[in-house]
Amino acid sequence: MTTVQTIPLWEVFIRSRNGLAHKHVGSLHAADATMALQAARDVYTRRGEGLSVWVVPSNAITASDPADKDVLFEPTASKIYRHPTFYEVPDEVGHM
Amino acid sequence: MTTTSITLAETPLLALVLRRADDALILGHRLSEWCGHGPMLEEDIALANIALDCVGQARSLYDYAATLDGRGLTEDDLAYRRDVGQYRNCLLVEQPNGDFAATIVRQVLASAFLDPYWRAMTASADPTLAAIAAKAEKETAYHLRHSAEWLIRLGDGTPESHERTQAALDDLWPYSGELMESDDAEAELVRAGIAVDPAAIRPAFDATVAMVLREATLTAPAAPWRQGGGRVGRHSEHLGFILADLQYLQRAHPGATW
Amino acid sequence: MYTQALNAQEVHGRPVVDPAEEARGARFQARIDAEDRIEPNDWMPEGYRRTLTRQISQHAHSEIVGMLPEGNWITRAPSLKRKAALLAKVQDEAGHGLYLYSAAETLGTSREEMFEQLLSGRAKYSSIFNYPTLTWADIGAIGWLVDGAAIMNQIPLCRCSYGPYARAMIRVCKEESFHQRQGYEIMLTLCRGTPEQKAMAQDALNRWWWPCLMMFGPPDSESQHSDQSAKWKIKRFTNDELRQKFVDATVPQGRYLGLTFPDPELAFDEASGHWRFGTIDWEEFKQVLAGNGPCNRQRMKQRRDAHAAGAWVREAAMAHAQKRARRAAEAAALPEAA
């Protein structure tokens, strides 16, 4: 009996009909990229969810550290001038 | 209405539609037997997708066959009320699932024929068949791709997988020829531009199979021995068991609605 | 789609003494209270991780084992339409199992390990799947009742505090919407059919009703777990609350079918607006959970056989992938060597 190897895990991203970017939908196991792509099609597009599929080996993803959340994402909270509602436009000017 | 067996007056066109419909139903039935028993969860889902495509094709074809028959029968009458001798599928599709290798070999052989066949049938002079072909062609292209990828992995995987797959190929190879057989009635439809001559698909079938087997490091058996008879209702022993399962409720409760 | 509260015997994590640990625990609970979602890389108490891993994997196992009783009837479905719908439904269960195993894997246990726990008999799965499907009406009853009970359980799980589980459940619930309807439609067709068909439907209700009520798990008075799970927002309703919701929703549906529930005590209570039902046989429930239901051994054997029969396929896929990677590496190395 050969050593049992774990079949690698892949993350699946699908671009739906509505023209949005590829979105993470879940994961699956497959031995290689070709089979992962086919499995992604079979598992995650059974109801016509997608027009394009990406698969990425799960271990190829580098994620931000949750401990860094404050450092990375807090500072943007004070930059309200990036949002359109920060600016006043008189009603008479209409929609802008 | 009762659920006694029915026999159809098979015009050449009706016979053709039944052949294609029965191939699709019986193959779909076999594949559906895998549901819950696949080698991995992902493949359980993949095989069910192929099975669902097959059952869908069968339904469209039976529906058309019922129209051609013209006696007000339904798709279910055709599937559930014909006996073994009335079924027109080739012997390949009724062969048991065996191990996963046998299922994959059966699928590659069937798809290597059905994919180019349906593509050619999109040009049929019969608009219903052309429409069914246009849908089926996309499905069979995926069936071929999926099963061929597996065949390559099984053939060129471990010594055990190679051995199992070569054995399955040796067992099933004699059934592949029947896919490309036809008869005088079918020839008539070919002349009318309604049907594609199955024999004309042979070069595409041979090329696909040769390419996949080469990559899978498998050897096509040289055996001239060939099995057939399904198109005229002479089946292997397996079909009787399939129909016993498939038709049991309809036969036990004549005329009931489900 | 069949989660079940099976956790009555589980002992909670050891008491926390380390003050730093305690502070982290408090921050964690504050996030939960604020309806923040916990994500895989976030710190979490061991008990939270363990409880979730157990619950999600049990849920996944239930999906996979649940394929078997319904799968029985795929080849015998009485019409092509029913055959396609049933096959699609059972296939969905495989998909749901897959989503759930994936969610559980984010907590650090591999699918292979979870399979091992199931196949060795250490992990539990929903008791309901240890009952046999004897007639076609059982397929209707499972869709109507078992999926109906499952939906009661699953909708609140879409808001579970653990992000991957909640997201998996959203997907599951979306896909599940047709399952209960196809079951009810089967029952309706049978009830409008021949006397034999109607009797078949009644017989199925008689056999499935009580086991379905057991699906919600032991009564609140005996469930030690609900408190902690509720605090962690893993479970938002108690077993008894969900069971009552299910009974209230289902009884009118059954009456519409013209079927009789196998419970002489079943009666509508005007004051509370709820259907009151008789006493559940918890001894039967315990026996089924302990492995002594009508089909426990058969189900496990089928799962073990499938897994064992697939081993050479999985090995072949891995061996081929490695060959391919090696060939690619060799091909890439060639020009430099030359």
Q: How far is C311 from chain A (nearest CA, A)?
A: 9
pLDDT of residue C226: 66
| Amino acid at the residue C85 | A
Residues facing residue A28 across a β-bridge:
A10
pLDDT of residue C21: 83
- Higher-confidence position of A58 and C226: A58
Domain count across chain B: 1
- Cross-chain CB nearest to A29 (options B40, B46, B158): B40
Contact B79, B25 (CB under 8 A): yes
Four-CA torsion C144, C147, C150, C151, nearest 10 degrees? -80
Per-residue pLDDT of chain C (338 residues; tens, 9 = 90+): 455 544 434 445 555 567 888 889 999 999 999 999 999 989 999 999 999 999 999 999 999 999 999 999 999 999 999 999 999 999 999 999 999 999 999 999 999 999 999 999 999 999 999 999 999 999 999 999 999 999 999 999 999 999 999 999 999 998 888 899 999 999 999 999 999 999 999 999 999 999 999 999 999 988 766 688 899 999 889 999 999 999 999 999 999 999 999 999 999 999 999 999 999 999 999 999 999 999 999 999 999 999 999 999 999 999 999 999 999 999 988 765 54
Q: How far is A1 from chain B (nearest CA, A)?
A: 11
Within a domain: B3:
no
Chains near B (3 or more Cβ pairs under 8 Å): A, C
Give me C209's structure tokens: 């009703």
Question: For residue C299, how far is the Cα from the chain centroid?
Answer: 15
Q: ipTM value of the model?
A: 0.96
Chains near C (3 or more Cβ pairs under 8 Å): A, B
Contact C186, C140 (CB under 8 A): yes
- Cross-chain CB nearest to B35 (options C90, C315, C317): C90
- Pairing between β-strand C274-276 and β-strand A9-15 as defined by DSSP bridges: unpaired
Contact C65, C129 (CB under 8 A): yes
Closest Cα to residue C62, out of C1, C133, C150, C152?
C1
CA angle B103–B55–C191, rounded 5-degree value = 125
CA distances from B248 to B251, C89, C275 (A): 5, 21, 39
B48:C91 CB<8 A: yes
Whole-angstrom Cα distance, residue A39 to residue A52? 13
Whole-angstrom Cα distance, residue B110 to residue B178? 10
Which chain C residues are within 8 Å of B54, Cβ to Cβ?
Answer: none
Contact C45, C18 (CB under 8 A): no
- Pairing between β-strand A52-57 and β-strand A9-15 as defined by DSSP bridges: antiparallel
Within a domain: B83:
yes
Can you give the three-state secondary structure of chain C, one letter per residue? CCCCCCCCCCCCCCCCCCHHHHHHHHHHHHHHHCCCCECCCCCCCHHHHHHHHHHHHHHHHHHHHHHHHHHCCCCCCCCHHHHHHHHHHHHHHHHHHHHHHHHHHCCCCCHHHHHHHHHCCCCCCCHHHHCCCCCHHHHHHHHHHHHHHHHHHHHHHCCCCEHHHHHHHHHHHHHHHHHHHHHHHHHHHHHCCCHHHHHHHHHHHHHHHHHHHHCCCCCCCCCCCHHHHHHCCCCCCCHHHHHHHHHHHHHHHHHHHCCCCCCCCCEEECCCCEEECCCCCHHHHHHHHHHHCCCHHHHHHHHHHHHHHCHHHHHHHHHHHHHHHHHHHHHHHHHHHC
Per-residue pLDDT of chain B (258 residues; tens, 9 = 90+): 455 899 999 999 999 999 999 999 999 999 999 999 999 999 999 999 999 999 999 999 999 999 999 999 999 999 999 999 999 999 999 999 999 999 999 999 999 999 999 999 999 999 999 999 999 999 999 999 999 999 999 999 999 999 999 999 999 999 999 999 999 999 999 999 999 999 999 999 999 999 999 999 999 998 767 899 999 999 999 999 999 999 999 999 998 999
Closest Cα to residue C230, out of C22, C38, C48?
C48
Residues contacting B72, CB < 8 A, separation 6+ = B66
Q: Does residue C275 sit in helix, strand or coil?
A: strand
Whole-angstrom Cα distance, residue B203 to residue B113? 10
Contact C160, C36 (CB under 8 A): no
Closest Cα to residue C91, out of B196, B26, A46, B103?
A46
A39:B45 CB<8 A: yes
Half-sphere exposure of B159 (CA within 13 A, CB side): 2
Given CB atoms, is A71 within the 8 Å cutoff of chain C?
no
Helix (H) or strand (E) holding C32: helix C19-33
Q: Does residue A3 sit in helix, strand or coil?
A: coil
Helix (H) or strand (E) holding C257: helix C239-257
Q: Does residue A12 sit in helix, strand or coil?
A: strand
- Cross-chain CB nearest to C320 (options A5, A9, A31): A31
Residues contacting C329, CB < 8 A, separation 6+ = none
Dump the DSSP string for A35-91.
HHHHHHHHHH-TTS--SEEEEEEGGG-----GGGHHHHHGGGGG-GGGSGGGS---G
- In sign, the C-alpha dihedral spanning B43, B48, B53, B58 is positive
Half-sphere exposure of B71 (CA within 13 A, CB side): 11
Give me B169's structure tokens: 């190929």
A2:B153 CB<8 A: no
pLDDT of residue B3: 53
The CATH number of the domain where B192 resides is what?
A: 1.20.1260.10
Question: For residue C268, how far is the Cα from the chain centroid?
Answer: 29
Can you give the three-state secondary structure of B47-98, one letter per residue? HHHHHHHHHHHHHHHHHHHHHHHCCCCCHHHHHHCCCHHHCCCCHHHHCCCC
| Amino acid at the residue A27 | S
Q: What is the CA radius of gyration of chain B?
A: 18
Within a domain: B103:
yes
Domain that holds residue B213: 12-220+227-252
- Phi-psi category of C264—alpha, beta or left, where left has phi over 0 and alpha has psi -120 to 50? alpha
Q: Does residue A20 sit in helix, strand or coil?
A: coil
Helix (H) or strand (E) holding C274: strand C274-276
Residues facing residue C38 across a β-bridge:
C162
Given CB atoms, is B35 within the 8 Å cutoff of chain C?
yes
Q: Which residue of A has its CA nearest to C324?
A: A32
How do the domains of chain A map onto residue ranges?
2-63
Of the CATH numbers 3.40.640.10, 2.60.120.620, 3.30.420.40, 3.10.20.520, which one belongs to the domain with range A2-63? 3.10.20.520
| Amino acid at the residue C326 | R
Q: What is the CA radius of gyration of chain A?
A: 21
Give me B72's structure tokens: 């007000």
Whole-angstrom Cα distance, residue C300 to residue C295? 9
Four-CA torsion C159, C165, C169, C172, nearest 10 degrees? 170
Name the pLDDT band for A1 (thresholds 50, 70, 90): very low
Which chain B residues are within 8 Å of C111, Cβ to Cβ?
Answer: 41
| Amino acid at the residue B24 | A
Given CB atoms, is A72 within the 8 Å cutoff of chain C?
no
Contact C80, C263 (CB under 8 A): no
